[in-house]
Structures are given as structure tokens and as C-alpha cells.
Structure 1
């Protein structure tokens, strides 16, 4: 079942809609559940809610998947370039967006200090980091990767699909070099073959900048002791339909 709720979003003095998935028997049991937080929560469950008309189909998948969990989807800002600012840990300049004054670090501080305590109090979660994951795609994938690095005491399982690493890759790698990661940290990284080769058809997929950045990140994470899984999705594109196809792959790596 899906529960929706508006929740105060203090970094922008506004609110964000939460799209919360609960196992169907949640109210008939006393069981506690692991919990995953997703960025762009409007795109997770239903096509009619999704920004571009196709969702990740996550409700249908979780309804039949053997491991029960709670999912908290956090809807993004829909105002101008605010999503870029909200979902980037670092400020950057990029055409055609111009200067983006980022507050992604504040977004994650809000998540762990305000949202997560509320979810853990309101719902029967296992609140421990070992039972807490975070996921996203594009800018949300960047945020999931950064969360796993800078907020590793809160998250042990990170799904980073088609992550927007190009805007501030060096800053991310620098932060990673300064951090210690728990050995049970798991990072799923993916790139779609067609998105990797966009405008670069002369290059083999593994020679494209998008893949090279993900492989460099994977190597650095492994050097810190993390477990990783890199997936180059054949015919994959930068869209929800491609990310939907990965639900089983990344969830099984993270949780089994």
C-alpha cells in the first residue's frame, strides 16, 4: 500500500510530498522492516504520478518480492532548477542551467536529522544503518552516492543509477578520499549503454566518460573496503523504463 504525506522541508522553508510504500500486511502484523529512501519519489510507483509518464514500477515489484521493506520516496522540487540545487552536494556552473547554488548537503542533513527520525517513530522500521538504504537516479544517483560516502554512519546500501557524476566528479572523489567506509557498505552503480554513448557513438561503451567515471568511483570505493556492483545496461537509456528494469538486480545485490 502507498501512503502519501506532506512533510516540512526545512532547507527550502517549504514541504515535500512523501510517497511511502508499506507491505500489504503492515497493519495486520507487528513485524519491523528495513527501510530504503529514494529521491524523486513521484516516479517510483505509478505511471500517472511520474514526471514523464513512466514509473519505476516499484510497488508492483515489491508486492511480490520475498523481502519485505518500507520505502520512503521523497518528491523533488518542481520549480525551475531547484531540483539541481536540492540534489547536488556541490555548487557548479553548467550550460544551459547557469550557476547552481547547491544545498544537497543540507538536504541530506534534513533527511537524517528530521525525516528519518520521524519515519522511525511513525512506522515500524529497523532504524539501524545495517537496515537502511538510499537510492536514486541521475541527480538522485549522485545524492545516493554522496550519502553513502559522507553519511555512511546512517546508510549501508546505496543504489546509484545513471548518476549525474559529470557536474562535480572531482569534488566527490576528493570527499571519498577523506572518508572511512564501513566494510559492509554496498554500492550499486549503473549506466545505460545508449545514454553512455549519446553524442559519442565513435567510442566503445567502456571508453565513454560516463562509464569511466563510474569505474573510477567503483575502484575508489573498493579501495575503501566497500562492496560494489557495476552494471552497464545493454540498450539502457536515461529514463525510468530503463531504471525499472534494474529493480531486481540492484535490490538483490544490496539486500542478499
Structure 2
């Protein structure tokens, strides 16, 4: 079951659609569920809603397998996505990848603080959640902002997945933050990256993998259960994301 409603984002002074998946037996059982927060909410559950027409199709998948988790998808603001999903303005590594200097980024802190201080309390009050079992997952820039959230609120987001992450946008600052952060409370961290993220641009694809590997090398020194997969021939699109997301879900939601 999917519930869709607007929520006001105070720091951005605007409403944003929130999509909440509830397990099939949600109204039949008096129990509480772990919560997974995801970015790019339009692309999480249904193809009809997805930007580009292809989603992760999580609504159908979760109904089929009966995984007991509440998934909260936060719609992207397409015009401001890079600003909201990047905590800092793009740096030199970004210039190396993109081939130009970008001034985008810098609203990521406000975005994550909204999730923690406004959205999570609302969700915990409205639904039967396990307040201390909260995960976060994101794709591309969503992986970048999820990793930032783990650093800023490691006691809240204890399970994280960063899929085909565009870390390069904030590579230098993110590495500094990771090195200085206490991540001992994080239980599980999943990262992956395809070998053809930039499709025909082999050099950029190589740098994409190097960027992700650099983040992984820092994380594995700080978190006991970190998994990093380099996926041969995988490209940066939802055909490939959808194919591997069921395994990622199992990693994030599996009971301990």
C-alpha cells in the first residue's frame, strides 16, 4: 500500500510530495516496522510516476516478497536536486570529472536536517515505526547525500546504501568529513559502482570507480560491516539500478 501526501520543508519554504510504502499486513498486525528513507522518491515505487518512465518498482517487489519494512520516498525537486543532494559546492575533483567548474551544491545540510528534525518525527508519530531502526539509501547524488547523513547523524541512520554514487561532486570535503566522523554506531554500509557508469566515456567511468573506491577505503576502516561491489558493465540508469536493488534491500533490512 502506498500513501502519498505533501509535507512542508521549512528550510526551503516549499511543499514536497512524500511517498510511504506500508507492508501488506500493516493494518492487520499490531507490530512496529523498521523504516528506510530514500531520495528521488518519484523513482522509487512506480514506473508511471518515475522521471524517465523507469523506477525501482519497489511497491510491486515488496508486496510480492512480503518484506516487512516501511519505505519513505522523498520526491526530488528536479530544478534544485544538485543543490539539495550536495552538502558543499562542487570541488576540484568534480571539475576533473565534468570538465568545467560548477557552482552547484550547498543545501545538503538543510535537506538532511529537515529529514531528521521534521520528517522523521512526523513519520514516527503517524506510523508504527521502530524509531531506532532507521536506514537510508540513495542513488547517484542520493548516495552522496546518504553518506553525508550517516556522518551527520550516525546514531540515527545505522544502515546505509549508496548506489552508483556521484561522490565526485563533493569528493574532497566528503573524505575529510568521513575521516573525522565517529561512525562506530553504524551497523551496515553498502556501496556499489558500475564499470560503465558514464556509458561510452571510458576515462570518466574509470574515475567514477576510483572515486567510489576511495570512499570505501575510508569507510572500511571505521565500520565493521561494509560491502563494496564493482559491477561489470553496469551503467548509470534505472535498468541496472532496478536489477540489483532487491539484494541491497535484503542487506539493509535483514534482521540481526
Does the 8 A contact of 1:133 with 1:156 survive in 2?
Answer: yes
What SS does the corresponding residue of 1:5 show, helix, strand or coil? strand
Does the 8 A contact of 2:89 with 2:102 survive in 1?
Answer: no
Q: What is the distance in 1 between the residues matched to 2:31 and 2:235?
A: 38
Structure 1 residues 233 and 53: CA distance shift in structure 2, 3 A: same
What SS does the corresponding residue of 2:78 show, helix, strand or coil? coil
Aligned match of 1:36: 36
What SS does the corresponding residue of 2:183 show, helix, strand or coil? coil
Aligned match of 1:173: 175
What SS does the corresponding residue of 1:189 show, helix, strand or coil? strand
TM-score, reference length from structure 2: 0.91
Aligned match of 1:26: 26
Q: What is the distance in 1 between the residues matched to 2:101 and 2:43?
A: 23
TM-score, reference length from structure 1: 0.91
Q: What is the distance in 1 between the residues matched to 2:102 and 2:210?
A: 25
Aligned match of 1:10: 10
Does the 8 A contact of 2:137 with 2:161 survive in 1?
Answer: yes
Q: What is the distance in 1 between the residues matched to 2:49 and 2:200?
A: 28
* Cα-Cα RMSD: 1.9
What SS does the corresponding residue of 2:113 show, helix, strand or coil? helix
Aligned length: 248
1:199 Cα deviation from its structure 2 partner: 1.4
Pick from 69, 82, 86 the counterpart of residue 84 of structure 2.
86
1:52 Cα deviation from its structure 2 partner: 0.6
Q: What is the distance in 2 between the residues matched to 1:198 and 1:253?
A: 31
Aligned match of 1:158: 160
Structure 1 regions of 5+ residues with no counterpart?
none
Aligned match of 1:239: 237
Where do 1:187-202 residues align within 5 Å? 187-195=189-197, 198-200=200-202
Q: What is the distance in 1 between the residues matched to 2:170 and 2:224?
A: 21
What SS does the corresponding residue of 1:223 show, helix, strand or coil? coil
Structure 2 regions of 5+ residues with no counterpart?
none
1:66 Cα deviation from its structure 2 partner: 4.6
